[in-house]
Amino acid sequence: MTVVIGTAGHIDHGKTTLLRALTGIDADRLPEEQRRGMTIDIGYAHLDTEDGTSIDFVDVPGHDALIGNMLVGAGEIDAVMLVVAADDGPRAQTLEHLELVDALGLGTGIAVVTKSDLVDPDRTAAVVAETTDLLARTSLSGSRVLPVSAATGAGLADLRAGILALRDRIDAEQAVAAVGPGRLAVDRAFVVRGRGLVVTGSLRGGELRVGEGLRLEPGGAKVRIRGLHVHHGPVESAAPGRVAINLAGAELDDVRRGMVATWGAGIEATSRVLVALGRPPRLERPGSRASRPAWPPIDGTRIRIHLGTAQVDGVVGGRGRDAVELPDGRVTAIVRLAEPVATFVGDRGVARRPSPGDVVAGFEVLDPDPSRGASRRRATPERLAALAAAVGDADADSAADALVGLHGMLGVGRIEAVEAALGRSGGPVHTPGRDGLVVAPDIDAELSQAAITAITAFHATQSVEPGVPTGTIRQHLRTTLRRHATVRRDDAMAADRALDVVLEDLVRRGRLARDGDRLRDPSRATAMPPALRTAMDRLEVALDVPAPPDLAAAASAAGCPPEGVRALEAAGRIVRIEADLAWATPTFHRLAATALDIARREPLTPAALRDATGTSRRYVMPLIEDLNRRGILARTPTGHVPGPRAPRASRAPLEPDAPK
């Protein structure tokens, strides 16, 4: 692993000159930079150490108009080297860069007071003391401050030793380079003649090898590693650090600064994020009277988001339901972005005002795809605080549980992304007990109770029914689920399978019993009284004619009570089309098939169906109307023709299409 150190500091304080003295490399790569003597875009250098390893440096602009470019370099570094000129002292961009470093949560660094050869020792000592006091108000509190002269070389040996100590500390603490999802945030993209597209950036979260596949986010474009280049030349594999990748499968127009080359789980493309906002330190700028951003930011606050190497405009929203003050003083909020960015759970960034560019907040991404719709009601202070604590601790298990609780249910793929983002190796911690979805315990309990309640209510009104069709209960649970969680379109099938698992679990635990495709209360007997079964059989026979008697009269004659009639209808043994008109199901299908057969030859009239069935208008008119409602027939001025749900002529009767 190669440690990446980024410079920070005011314009013309000697950052690039210091790097040249340390590494022998001029990080000002652009002709305009060399002509003007100032860094305009981010530059790169590396220091080869005596133990055979290297340290990477990212040189950033110090001009106030180029803070966006500075953040591109600062977005993917492990440590900071703050540069302050002894003859000038801390200035406006010194303070602004420190605010940005603090907002990014960078706590490892070293400060250098340059140009010590231009002033007397007392002035150098005063600037060292002033810089030390300034660092104490930021995340770099306690960092060493070393006086150096790049021109004479004074202090360079101590600086190199300090940088090596930084590297060792970062290695011991397993810094960001070694954890999180595998990714390279693109900071440059260009074409090399004869080789094709090349992208550069700081590799994080794993190693790359020539021939492996990557995807580019946002967008998900698939590419392949044609070649790798680190510092001095081509390599077959690259560890975390500064890397150039020669890509196959994409053109220069397909790639831009801010995209992420990644593999595996973890990185998610989004235009809406749930974040925890942290208030930055307010370092005074000499002579500045500009107003500072309000804290906490109100709904509708326009900001510019810096994530990795991406810059995108956004709006703070959700400072209502999603606004919670966390125990550590941060606040949560939803941020809507003008265009998608690639990010991950635990990613850190900076929010600035578009103008004049003050830091609004540092932030940590809690959820790259926050809840919408019904599940928004689950965004309670307790759940948001639990998620923020888990992400802050990089606790993959707890973060996954918190996200499931916040959403109500979550796809296993997103859980795997959380685990990859927070640095957990190996497979998912959650077994997909819901066949692709993990359901929150409270919603699981709610669904179970809803199923039992519905079946109990059914038995109370349908005393002889053997049970409720599984499809009916599933539809009831589907409605219950949508009241408590947002079911995304991509998760609809998995959600239905999850509901089946709820029912299977109730059957396994003996809370419900299954008879074929029906579910019942296990305390209810499955056997129907013989006398009732015989009466139902008699009624079915009485209705198995083209011109059946009135249903009430037939039921009375058969000795079949109302619950027996309902049981026949629920079992699909009879078809009732009016309150007092019903046929045995086989007879109904035969009559319907006759009507459809006539309609296929010529428009069907009531008279034609009456003659064909040997009945009367008393029967054919309700039958035709019922077939119209079902879509088997369709009314036209000249008669009835096959409707949109009519089966093909080659199919056997209407059983598959006629509801039972």
* pTM score, whole prediction: 0.74
Residue 75 confidence class, pLDDT cut points 50, 70, 90 = low
Residue 598 confidence class, pLDDT cut points 50, 70, 90 = very high
User: What is the per-residue pLDDT for 504?
Assistant: 92
The count of other CB atoms within 10 Å of the CB of residue 324 is: 20
The residue written with tokens 């340390």 in the block is: 22
User: What is the per-residue pLDDT for 20?
Assistant: 87
The SS3 call for residue 624 is helix
Cβ atoms of residues 555 and 579 within 8 Å: no
Residue 280 confidence class, pLDDT cut points 50, 70, 90 = confident
pLDDT of 426 above 70: no
Q: What is the pLDDT of residues 340-380, one digit of tens each?
A: 999 999 998 888 888 777 888 889 999 999 887 767 788 88
Between 387 and 468, residue with greater pLDDT: 387
User: What is the per-residue pLDDT for 546?
Assistant: 96
Q: What is the pLDDT of residues 214-262, one digit of tens each?
A: 999 999 999 999 999 988 788 999 988 888 899 999 999 999 988 999 9
CA separation, residue 477 to residues 273, 352, 507 (Å): 30, 45, 15
| Lowest pLDDT segment from 71-80, 238-247, 255-264, 572-581 | 71-80
Residue 184 phi/psi, 5-degree rounding, is -135, 110
pLDDT of 319 above 70: no
Measured at the CA of 436, the angle between CA 416 and CA 376, to 5 degrees, comes to: 80
Q: What is the pLDDT of residues 446-464, one digit of tens each?
A: 999 999 999 998 887 766 6
- Please name the fold of domain 439-520: Arc Repressor Mutant, subunit A (1.10.10)
The residue written with tokens 């098939």 in the block is: 593
Q: How far apart are CA 467 and CA 458, in angstroms?
A: 8
The count of other CB atoms within 10 Å of the CB of residue 410 is: 26
The residue written with tokens 């059989």 in the block is: 537
Between 326 and 648, residue with greater pLDDT: 326
Between 81 and 77, residue with greater pLDDT: 81
CA separation, residue 191 to residues 216, 238, 648 (Å): 17, 20, 60
**Which residue type is seen at 433?**
G
Name, of 69-73, 327-331, 648-652, the range with top average pLDDT: 327-331
Mean pLDDT of the chain: 84
pLDDT of 177 above 80: no
Q: Which residues contact 65 (CB under 8 A, 6 or more apart)?
A: none
Q: What is the 8-class DSSP label of residue 246?
A: E
The count of other CB atoms within 10 Å of the CB of residue 133 is: 11
CA nearest neighbour of 375 among 314, 442, 316: 442
Q: Which residues contact 349 (CB under 8 A, 6 or more apart)?
A: 75, 104, 305, 306, 307, 308, 343, 362, 363, 365
Q: How far apart are CA 514 and CA 507, in angstroms?
A: 7
The answer to whether 439-520 and 530-642 have equal CATH topology is: yes
Instruction: Compute the average pLDDT of residues 426-439.
Output: 52
Residue 501 phi/psi, 5-degree rounding, is -65, -35
The SS3 call for residue 165 is helix
Please report the sign of the dihedral spanned by the C-alpha atoms of residue 361, residue 365, residue 371, residue 377: negative
Distance between start and end Cα atoms, the chain: 67
User: What is the per-residue pLDDT for 658?
Assistant: 34
Between 430 and 498, residue with greater pLDDT: 498
CA 200 to chain centre: 26
The rounded radius of gyration (Å) of the Cα atoms in the chain is 36
Q: How far apart are CA 445 and CA 401, in angstroms?
A: 16
Instruction: Compute the average pLDDT of residues 265-282.
Output: 90
Between 51 and 173, residue with greater pLDDT: 51
CA nearest neighbour of 455 among 469, 443, 444, 434: 469
Domain definitions of the chain by residue range: 3-176, 181-262, 268-285+295-430, 439-520, 530-642
- Please name the fold of domain 268-285+295-430: Elongation Factor Tu (Ef-tu); domain 3 (2.40.30)
| Lowest pLDDT segment from 172-176, 368-372, 383-387 | 172-176
User: What is the per-residue pLDDT for 33?
Assistant: 33
Between 551 and 177, residue with greater pLDDT: 551
pLDDT of 656 above 80: no
Contacts by residues 532-536 (CB-CB < 8 Å, ≥ 24 positions apart): 532/464, 532/560, 532/561, 532/563, 532/564, 535/559, 535/560, 535/561, 535/564, 536/560, 536/564, 536/567, 536/568, 536/573
Give the CATH H-level superfamily of domain 3-176: P-loop containing nucleotide triphosphate hydrolases (3.40.50.300)
Q: Which residues contact 132 (CB under 8 A, 6 or more apart)?
A: 111, 145
- Percent of the residues in the chain that have a pLDDT greater than 70, as a whole number: 86
pLDDT of 209 above 50: yes
pLDDT of 516 above 80: no
Structure tokens at 580: 């007092």
Q: How far apart are CA 529 and CA 463, in angstroms?
A: 12
Q: Which residues contact 440 (CB under 8 A, 6 or more apart)?
A: 378, 404, 405, 407, 408, 409, 485
Residue 21 confidence class, pLDDT cut points 50, 70, 90 = confident
- Cis-peptide, bond into residue 293, ω within 30° of zero: no
The yes or no reply on domain 181-262 and CATH 2.40.30.10 is yes
Torsion of CA 360, 364, 370, 375, to 10 degrees: -100
Measured at the CA of 324, the angle between CA 386 and CA 485, to 5 degrees, comes to: 65
CATH code assigned to 530-642: 1.10.10.10
User: What is the per-residue pLDDT for 113?
Assistant: 94
Q: Give the DSSP H/E element, type plus range, for residue 55.
A: strand 54-59
Cβ atoms of residues 568 and 536 within 8 Å: yes
Between 18 and 289, residue with greater pLDDT: 18
- Convert 502-549 into a string of H (helix), E (strand) and C (coil): HHHHHHHCCCCEEECCEEECCCCCCCCCHHHHHHHHHHHHHCCCCCCC
